[in-house]
Structure 1
């Protein structure tokens, strides 16, 4: 057991240790912690409204236990979604797998070590969602000390069951199915499922304008369909046992269900260890299986022909982002999250929110076209600034960056292809915003066309700025692709630079009384953006000259 704990500590240090981290990365973690505070308050407020509305309806009928049942079922499903990608990535596709296999450890010990980092991710989610929900329910139900003691114990074991069950299923599939050639597709599908879950959850939450009203409506629904709720809960025995334990903490039945929950959890955990001992190594070793496809000389000859170097370098960057699961989810999918969430807010908001389509259209009537263009451009700067495509341009190469030192490619070509790839990814965001503006908000096509041209120039400048920063402070020593996006100050720094740069320009034009109308504003913006483009290229050229060959050392 001592060896297992040492292995777990070693793997956690490899993932989360601050040793070797730059000061920028440490500051990045601090900023993430600061930003988490208002986000946690928002979650607490939303859950308080939903749980309060449900409790008011269900408590008089002695059905308040259904609130906890719904909560635990939701957490179970959420943990499965989170576990899918993290288990596949950590257990099978991390770069350090082969090194650990050669060490004198049992398969279940290495599996437990690889479980530590994904499991901590679940506990962060558990602390952000389940912990405040249990506190809120305890407040509404005037629960005693025994409730909170039970709640702490149940909180500790809640992530265990969905994580273990998901891991057992994945290990079984990786052992008995031919997944080696489809491993990237599996991780991509897991990322897309998570994206769909986020969007679906937001659609549900936006279907009603107030969380209290939403809670009352859900309460009314469950009051009419108690039999259906009991049936659904029956498929989640852990949710049922947890709910009864917390609603009847002072009874023998509540204590019995709590003990039964722990026995069931640890019984399945023992099965998890057994499955890991029998299946884990076989699944890992199966990933290195070679392909049985024979070389097709005609196909090879067809693809061997001279092509433009910049185009091929750009294609390589695009394929890396599309085919590498972590890059696909962190860059491609993330580029869709912000605009798609905006569509959800605009289209599915049935209340009187200032962001709904019904509220935005009247505001635009009679507004000077100058302000519409400036507002759209400001929104675009923020949407482009939070996309990590450019700020990971150099870091994505990792240790393979050394290849650029002896390949017959000009540094300018290599960096230009990375800028062009980031520009291409951001085009998706611009196209989605265009659809929103034309189809849902009914902004005139002329204004949208002008905005799109200006946004393309802005897109290029932000891509150059992000790539320049990543060339100046890259992270090439990662062992897992996720390290490129965790805790780096560069993302916040790039966003701050772009907001200050473009925000100052927009603010000055907004306050300038002598510049009015669409075309005058457009001409001034085009000139300023041209200046920004020229200056950014000078900076990028200097960065290439000073850092392209030196960052490898």
Structure 2
């Protein structure tokens, strides 16, 4: 057990070393960033608490209030499962300490459980936002006793175990086959893409099965039955949630204790299975993960002449940036793939529920009536701009463009290309990927809703202005606070507080535009040119700042 606790402590310390470097000197800044991060998620937590308080009275009147807890735990578990898969991949396989640990006199099971504990602790942040407000609000509204809150603490700390183990086993089984491929980086990318497709597939199947198993008559019967019978329907995705919900609802009697014991037994069984299966497959999948293979190819004189032909410096450097983003698994998943995830969130419900697509298609005429109102159209324009800002700010390409250079940034000092061109190349590569994702979303929405052509053009124009603004802001932040001291790519993008700062700035800018539009009842003919004038001017100003002050900051980076 001592080795387990020691390893877990080391893993946690390493994961946060970038935030606490230089000790006390950076401590106030770190605390401030944590406070800002907590405040940024406070409205979302408040929303879950408000929904719980609002829906409790109605559901209590039909004796179905338990579905609130069941639904909250299902949502939390689903989020933990989806994001936990990628987190397991990063911590278990892509961390730089993996192969060093394997030579130590420590059992693989101890390494596995220590890394699993680290991932588990990360997932508690999800529960703090999604689940904790629901548990507390439900307890207050129901006048629950002390045992309810004791159950709440136990369930809060143990709920992520089952979904996280399911996700971890999927990752471990897929990565087990990495030993059969020579190109490790390519396999890492393919493996993560396969997992992403798997998660999407699970989502589709779950929605179809849920629809098939919950027809109108059955739902009506369960609804009128009372006795919190809807818990059985809402907790089919994860086996442990039903017993956790029943433990909460029956916390004042003996059946609650029985449900709690069954819930804990399920968690223990999953932990035992994880320890056995993971130890059997993990070692063979992790050995050699840091090895790479060079591709050797004999070039003809024509190919050499073509490869060495004179090209624009900005074009060449932009291609270099794109190649790194696409060829590095961590960058590819976090900077490229995540940019194209959002459009699939629009498509998945339509695939799983074709009648929704027909309903939207038939509502084409109503949509045209809806946008005929100048104020409504103004709100749509503001939302399009705000969405583009947030989607760009949530993507770490621009705001980690300097940080991704790491300790090798000194090479950039010697290449025959001035700093302004290097920065503009990073801007261009970020714009290509960010705007491609936004454009895909616009095309999908246009194909579904079929708005007038001028709406499509307005969307493109607003998105371009918003994307350029967000990229310049992101790069300027990274020029001021580059995170260059990292030992693996994951820490450059996933443990970089610049990303959080950018998201907060994006949220403020996007929220201000939408708030002002709604509050002042601005019509389209006012808000559209206002956004263009203000943010085109901001784009020009940031261009000047980045290519002057930004160049100076870039030159002084050591």
TM-score of the two chains, using structure 2 as the length reference: 0.73
* 2:119 match: 118
Asked whether the equivalents of residues 82 and 194 of structure 1 are also in contact (C-alpha less than 8 Å), the reply is: no
2:274 to 262, 272, 275: 272
1:471 to 445, 467, 479: 479
Deviation, structure 1 residue 160: 2.0
* 1:16 match: 16
Note if 1:406 corresponds to 2:414.
Answer: yes
Deviation, structure 1 residue 419: 0.7
Asked whether the equivalents of residues 339 and 434 of structure 2 are also in contact (C-alpha less than 8 Å), the reply is: yes
Q: Tell me: CA distance 1:4–1:230, structure 2 relative to 1, closer, same or farther (3 Å).
A: closer
Q: Tell me: CA distance 1:218–1:11, structure 2 relative to 1, closer, same or farther (3 Å).
A: farther
* 2:131 match: 130
Deviation, structure 1 residue 4: 2.2
Asked whether the equivalents of residues 73 and 236 of structure 1 are also in contact (C-alpha less than 8 Å), the reply is: yes
Give the distance between the partners of 2:415 and 2:273, measured in 1 at CA: 51
Asked whether the equivalents of residues 335 and 395 of structure 2 are also in contact (C-alpha less than 8 Å), the reply is: yes
Per-residue CA deviation, residues 248-276 of structure 1 (Å, 9 max, x unaligned), is: 44555543443344344334424433445
Asked whether the equivalents of residues 390 and 503 of structure 2 are also in contact (C-alpha less than 8 Å), the reply is: no
Aligned length: 529
Give the distance between the partners of 2:157 and 2:503, measured in 1 at CA: 38
Asked whether the equivalents of residues 91 and 114 of structure 1 are also in contact (C-alpha less than 8 Å), the reply is: yes
Deviation, structure 1 residue 320: 3.0
Note if 1:318 corresponds to 2:322.
Answer: yes
* 2:423 match: 415
Give the distance between the partners of 1:90 and 1:199, measured in 2 at CA: 28
Q: Give 5+ residue unaligned stretches, structure 1.
A: 208-213
Q: Tell me: CA distance 1:545–1:288, structure 2 relative to 1, closer, same or farther (3 Å).
A: closer
Asked whether the equivalents of residues 53 and 141 of structure 2 are also in contact (C-alpha less than 8 Å), the reply is: no
Deviation, structure 1 residue 153: 2.6
Q: Tell me: CA distance 1:158–1:463, structure 2 relative to 1, closer, same or farther (3 Å).
A: closer
Deviation, structure 1 residue 285: 0.5
Note if 1:390 corresponds to 2:398.
Answer: yes
Q: Tell me: CA distance 1:81–1:459, structure 2 relative to 1, closer, same or farther (3 Å).
A: closer
Per-residue CA deviation, residues 350-386 of structure 1 (Å, 9 max, x unaligned), is: 99xxxx9958954643569999878865665555455
Q: Tell me: CA distance 1:30–1:342, structure 2 relative to 1, closer, same or farther (3 Å).
A: farther
Question: Which deviates more from structure 2 when the two are superposed, residues 136-145 or residues 295-304?
Answer: 295-304
Q: Tell me: CA distance 1:32–1:217, structure 2 relative to 1, closer, same or farther (3 Å).
A: farther
* 2:308 match: 306
* 1:492 match: 501
Superposed counterparts of 1:235-254, under 5 Å: 237-249=239-251, 252-254=254-256
Per-residue CA deviation, residues 370-421 of structure 1 (Å, 9 max, x unaligned), is: 9987886566555545543321211122233233233444433322221101
Give the distance between the partners of 1:152 and 1:300, measured in 2 at CA: 70
* 2:192 match: 187
Q: Tell me: CA distance 1:305–1:113, structure 2 relative to 1, closer, same or farther (3 Å).
A: same
Deviation, structure 1 residue 105: 3.0
Per-residue CA deviation, residues 447-504 of structure 1 (Å, 9 max, x unaligned), is: 6536644653554354334323322321111334255354625653687499779989
Asked whether the equivalents of residues 381 and 502 of structure 1 are also in contact (C-alpha less than 8 Å), the reply is: no
Per-residue CA deviation, residues 16-41 of structure 1 (Å, 9 max, x unaligned), is: 35422756665333211111211101
